[in-house]
Structure 1
């Protein structure tokens, strides 16, 4: 292992239900996986020692795997060594906490998602360590209606998230919108909530070579195939664009264990709207493949019902691709309305169709959005994100 700085921190990043090594769009892997893996790598590059603790979901996974300089991914036995529905992971919290016992020593424990915090906060308390919590998504109250096909939250989530927000030494939010939710919905002390924005790898997500043109114009929607991501709206919007200028829609991602039928429902919708031949499902993509898909797209659409940030919007920006996004949570920060893309409060397909068509039909407008998006993304690196984390860690490390 390379020499580290004399004041290096020993950090545990806890990700119970999903491995940061998994590419987003596969199963339950999403933006959280990207954030944790890239922040871990950036922390390691700064000379800090990072253990990433996750649940074994396959018997073929090794005990450990190197994720980069000073970063070790550890697979812990908790529950069956196979993929399970996301909500089922609540049953493995106690077992995962026990599996953490041999590891350390650490200076700081940073949990990602509430499952992880429920296991790691008692672990941290027993050792006199500071515990930081990142939620990445926060449960709505039981009175909030579910989107069609959306799964109810696991039983302990509402009370568990509130407990973590109040009892952890700090909360790391990915956006100001998430920070506000943590304070007002979960009751956290505002002084203990810190916003650390994500970054983007501008060497991977970069604009297309000047003069290169995709074989046919398309818009892209990427993420795990989950009703919360609003892919049905993307399909309906493309269907509402006049046929003479209608682009293809490329959907990148894989269904999670909870929503095995969702892709078929989307195909049925496309067929009923007469655009089955214009909607392509390309499955989960590696980071480099997603980058290529984004840079060649004319528009990226992010129609999510809820997002703490919406990392794919930032990746599209770095790729020089204008974004049309829902005004949901952190997407209002990831996309600067009218500058790097368009943010829509309406979920009417006709409104989305007009926004997409407006970009497709106005090359000068599209170029201005593209340029502004690249400039903004250039100032958001993973190294900058890691610096923000370290500042939080040092203020709390005991």
Structure 2
């Protein structure tokens, strides 16, 4: 870790010798005009649900869009994964995605990316050198890899650093799924350094804020809790469950427990398959009623054995009930949510649980593990059920409720849609902009103190 951090500092130093010197700027008490947002390991343009693309991609895209709508320009720096990509792409007016060449375009795992942070930082500094001093008012980094680039950029440019962890190594390692790979010590060290360096940290929930303080010694006064949002224009009940099932070719009268997301041990789709196997073993007639869609692609440690879930379904004798579907765009995903009787989310760790929020916004109840931010997203007993632990029998018991009480899907679905209506991205962007303003004001106070 220390070796590549030193290389990053050296890169920043070389750019400093060729370009502008940072100067003490005294920003007023205002929102920033333009921010540099870093997402090194996954592009906001990638399809969520496969590779390393997931909830963080959705978070960055929707946050950037709403910030731009509220008058804050956003430039997102991400690693180029294809040689044919243009240097920059306008996502929407006010949001620019910049592709930075850093390492091989393809075949580079997330674990290999620390060695490319020096090259990534060099590319960022080259972009910055084309602008006048003060072009960016603030840096917002996402995930620990981006945090190290953001740390150096903020120091070089003389602007505040706001960082969002999204996931934390210590938290993930404390809740590892069977056969999953623990996060390396280098990531723990890197996260600790970023927490100490950031002007502000953004946590998705109060629990995440507490984890930052407990595991990494984060200062609560510099940590803000901002719930992520849901695109309520895309994810909504629309024309209902029957119409969505017709579009997807699903039986109108089936019980459909849906898994949507990246297929990896952390997300525990195997728990759903075991629960379904228990259901049909106890009540064989349910086999005629059940359809179990798994919508998503292998990711992370799941890439080591991408066929593992299919083999498990066959071994459990439920392969005829399970439909494996590739990742889909947001509009199609909304149809899968609407078509489902219930979304099942048995994750071992979730910083928030955007998938659960999206499903509820479509009027679909959720059965989820009571971990991370899911107790915030799901109202236990009203919009769905929270399960302590990952025993398949407990998930089978929750699913059985929807079999025994046919009206429960609609009752909880209506409550779910009402609950999710409170998670709009406009509110999340407004709260994030307030964090930016607080970071700028604090930087202003420190600079004035130094000039006295």
Structure 1 portions without partners, runs of 5+: 1-5
Matched, 1:112 2:150: no
Separation in 1 of the partners of 2:160 and 2:56?
A: 21
Separation in 1 of the partners of 2:324 and 2:60?
A: 27
Kept after mapping to 1: 8 A contact 2:297/2:326: yes
Matched, 1:268 2:306: no
Match of 1:82 in 2: 106
What secondary structure is seen at the aligned counterpart in 2 of 1:103? helix
What secondary structure is seen at the aligned counterpart in 2 of 1:277? coil
What secondary structure is seen at the aligned counterpart in 1 of 2:38? strand
After superposition, the C-alpha distances for 1:64-90 in whole angstroms (9 at most, x for unaligned) are 111112000001011111142221112
Deviates more, 1:99-108 or 1:267-276: 99-108
After superposition, the C-alpha distances for 1:329-350 in whole angstroms (9 at most, x for unaligned) are 1111111111111000031111
Match of 2:284 in 1: 243
After superposition, the C-alpha distances for 1:230-273 in whole angstroms (9 at most, x for unaligned) are 01101111111133235221111111364334331111111111
Question: Aligned to 1:225, which of 258, 263, 273?
Answer: 263
Question: What aligned pairs does 1:285-304 form with structure 2 within 5 A after superposition?
Answer: 285-304=328-347
Matched, 1:68 2:68: no
* Shift in Å, 1:306: 0.3
Match of 1:150 in 2: 180
Match of 1:379 in 2: 422
Separation in 2 of the partners of 1:197 and 1:251?
A: 27
**Larger Rg over CA atoms:** 2
Question: Aligned to 1:348, which of 377, 384, 391?
Answer: 391
CA change 1:310–1:144 in 2 (3 A) is: closer
What secondary structure is seen at the aligned counterpart in 2 of 1:350? helix
* Shift in Å, 1:109: 0.3
After superposition, the C-alpha distances for 1:181-219 in whole angstroms (9 at most, x for unaligned) are 111111100111111111111221111524726332221
Alignment RMSD, CA only?
Answer: 1.8
Matched, 1:176 2:206: yes
What secondary structure is seen at the aligned counterpart in 1 of 2:121? helix
* Shift in Å, 1:311: 0.4
How high is the TM-score relative to the length of structure 2? 0.83
Question: What aligned pairs does 1:36-75 form with structure 2 within 5 A after superposition?
Answer: 36-75=60-99
Matched, 1:9 2:33: yes
How high is the TM-score relative to the length of structure 1? 0.94
Matched, 1:318 2:361: yes
Deviates more, 1:184-193 or 1:251-260: 251-260
Match of 1:189 in 2: 219
Separation in 2 of the partners of 1:280 and 1:129?
A: 49
Separation in 2 of the partners of 1:204 and 1:143?
A: 34
Separation in 2 of the partners of 1:49 and 1:307?
A: 29
Separation in 2 of the partners of 1:225 and 1:78?
A: 27
Kept after mapping to 2: 8 A contact 1:56/1:82: no
Kept after mapping to 2: 8 A contact 1:360/1:366: no
CA change 1:94–1:154 in 2 (3 A) is: farther
* Shift in Å, 1:141: 7.2
Deviates more, 1:314-323 or 1:354-363: 354-363
CA change 1:44–1:344 in 2 (3 A) is: same
Separation in 1 of the partners of 2:240 and 2:164?
A: 39
Kept after mapping to 2: 8 A contact 1:85/1:256: no
CA change 1:280–1:373 in 2 (3 A) is: same
Which of structure 1's runs of 4+ aligned residues deviate more than 3 A?
Answer: 141-146
* Shift in Å, 1:21: 1.3
* Shift in Å, 1:276: 0.7
CA change 1:259–1:293 in 2 (3 A) is: same
Separation in 1 of the partners of 2:170 and 2:352?
A: 16
Match of 2:407 in 1: 364
Question: Aligned to 1:334, which of 377, 387, 396?
Answer: 377
Deviates more, 1:133-142 or 1:100-109: 133-142
Separation in 2 of the partners of 1:360 and 1:136?
A: 35
Kept after mapping to 2: 8 A contact 1:225/1:262: no
Structure 2 portions without partners, runs of 5+: 1-29, 129-134, 444-452
Kept after mapping to 1: 8 A contact 2:241/2:338: no
CA change 1:84–1:154 in 2 (3 A) is: farther
Separation in 2 of the partners of 1:369 and 1:52?
A: 38
